[in-house]
Structure 1
């Protein structure tokens, strides 16, 4: 797995965490993003936390 050209080990080193923690945080961030995108309403608004973002285009 790579993030912007960094290996998991490189990213973890830069963040000051171990590689397994970096993998876990990455997986959790992807899950949160999936859930946020799944809440898109028919009006084109996404509920992300307490903020509604209106998409244009």
Structure 2
């Protein structure tokens, strides 16, 4: 008998980070693939993501 709890299906990163992506777009940062990669690495931390993007 399988006793592992069900896992949620993976969420599309563009959906997961939609509000953050909109904020970056408002700042003129439109490289969505790069922004998603940085958001994934920083768990959505906008300040840290900006630091990584501009280093």
Q: What TM-score does the superposition give when structure 1 sets the normalisation length?
A: 0.32
**Higher strand proportion, which one?**
1
**Higher helix proportion, which one?**
2
Bigger Rg, which one: 1
Q: What TM-score does the superposition give when structure 2 sets the normalisation length?
A: 0.32
